[in-house]
A and B are shown apart, each in its own frame.
Chain A
Amino acid sequence: MERENSSAPAHETELERAVLNPLRKTTLPFWAAIAVLGALFAFSMGTLVRQWVLGLGVTGLNRPVYWGIYITNFVFFIGISHAGTLISAILRVTNAEWRRPITRVAEAITFFALILGAMQILLDLGRLDRVLNVVIFGRFQSPLLWDVTCISIYLLSSTLYLYLPMIPDLARMRDRMASAAAADVDGKKGFWSNWRYHLYRIMAVGWHGSAEQLRRLEKAIGLMAILIIPIAVSVHTVVSWIFGMMMQPMWHSTILGPYFVVGAIFSGIAMLFLFMTLIRKMWGLEKWIGAKQYNYLGILLLVMSVFWAYFTLSEYLTTGYGTLVHEQHVLQAKLSGEYAPWFYAMLLLNFFVPFAILIRRKGRTPVGTVIASAAIAVGMWIERFTIIAPTLTRPSLGYEKAVYTPSFTEIAITVGSLSLFAMLFLLFFKLFPAISIWEVEEGEHIAAVKRKAEELMAQPGPAIVAASVAGGPAGVPAGVPAQPLRNME
């Protein structure tokens, strides 16, 4: 295969070539996609400026529906941020080897989803210029302060958790480019033509890959994997409590915290499927993001769908079986009122469609999971919307039934936010490898060593001793002691 430039060494592995190729050259379709996303985002910024100048009156919000699409988007994006936590952290802690090719994508989704989520809250404020009041005059009894605390911690943690596993790859790219940079002896080319080399060099913090350094890195990643799980759970729980703590009908529910966490993990996996399939297709990574990933992650998505359905049933059955007047009005709005189409669409998209697809092994393929995940992405957005709007349209005093019609500004900003999310994600992977090369290599090495161990264990006795005496690092099976167990020469 032709090398694109002198920084691709002759003996590059297939994995390295496939993963580093997008960083070396960019196709026209990619730029076209960025242009489209960028245009949508730029347009939405125009509508946002207009909103800042005129006021939130340009939205469809009113009294009593004071919260609408923007808060829905906030909860939606924070929910998606659980993708990285689940895949990268939980699967790492449980030693699921098949996670290795997809942890980078998952961690990147988490990072950008958190940023977009924080943005949504900011653009919903009546006085964004006073946002620092939340810190200067912060009042900790307010669930919004709990949000600020937990989301700040999660943002710091997920940044670290994205960065740490990137370090060996950054060092690899630094070293690949070092020769080209070294050739520029008298600084003729200057900083900017070598800016990527300098970026990788600085970010690689002098990584030299010694055994001790690797040990430290693995320890740090392992610690973060354990820590980030309760942090992520706390984030979506406190987000749910901005509704759950208030005595509005069908908000003041004890199940809201766990329900939101389940929904977050659910929508996070769906987002992961969509983005990992996208880059897999775009950059020809089929060999590494393969059947195993789609099968196992598909089973996880199926399990989360069932979990979500269980929580939803629990919530609606409990509410419906009772006769509390205020809650009945909101429930009827969803079951038979103007929110019924949304509600039933949500059930279809979040449970019936994904279940039908994912229950069969043949459904757990790129095509099947993308359909299921697209359905879930839409369905989970609807779920957030039908938690927020119906309750606000049926206030407890019960003298009115309000109407909320989202305005063009709100729709434009939603589309623009999704475009920004996709754009940041794609541009990120133009700079950093989409698959964690060293972790996949580590996995391949572990698999090879296991295979060798199985081969040796299958052979008769003396061969084990001979092999363990003669073998170098690659010949020693993991878990087999260096000396023979019995007294043999």
Chain B
Amino acid sequence: MSSPPFLSLRNIVKRFTKVVGGQTTLITAVDNVNLDIFLGQSVGIIGESGSGKTTLGKIMVKLLDPDGGTISFGQKDITRLKGSGLRDFRASVQMIFQDPYSSLDPKMRVKDLIADFYRLANKKPTREDILRQLELVSLDQDVADKLPHELSGGQRQRVAIARALSLNPKLIVADEPVSALDVSIRSQILQLLAKLQGQAGVTYVLITHDIATLPLLVDYIYVMYAGSIVESAPTRTLIDRPLHPYTKALISAVPDLDGNRESGLPIPPGDVEEATHSGGCKYYGRCPYAMAVCRDVEPSLRTVEKGVMVACHLLNR
């Protein structure tokens, strides 16, 4: 990419304290993550729960402050900025949340929810503006006067999308946008998002645990495990030729309709919460190819071929 990245994250670290029973542990939710977002190239972040992907998403839209690292918007370092200094950023980067039942103020009607965002951008919306937004997401006019609880999950999510678009953002970070919806509705919303990519010219960062939803929308995928990026590659390359053992396990574990994708790959034991190894590669305890070096040295992310990066000792030969 010759143009500078639209949004750039460098060495992002975020820790949380977790209290279980009487014990307090420090968890590193995001561990030294580097990420570049270019306009026009939508990106997917795939990871399971505990991977840190949601935390990373919140840091990306500045809902959370990182404990370390920098965020650059265009050429500006916005890591420490707050309030009015973020005005341009807030107008350009929006977020869609997983739960359509809590992302809309239950007391406000749809037209007011959308108008509210217009006003935040210092614009005065007319009824036509609101209806146009609704049409953009294929909602009927009569939805404008409804309250959130009168709408279905799919309709609410469309309202959330219409609302986010009213600010004309360049980037939308979508955190599990369809996971809370019924199966037959999911593809409707995914197709809507795909349509808007062209129509509204938005770039997405799609955060999800369901890798099957990514090929439709993103050109590039980052795979996260226990807070670190373990592999990143263009979509088709990642899915057809995964390199990191975790990515391989993930892809082969996805149930497929055309018979099981029995690749003969052993299913890794345990899960992220109980089996994250510290002191070396985090995947050490579950990896079928683990070597001695994996136990002691954490592999760093290295470019293996154009656009493909992996953090695995297996590939360092």
Q: Do A and B bind each other?
A: no
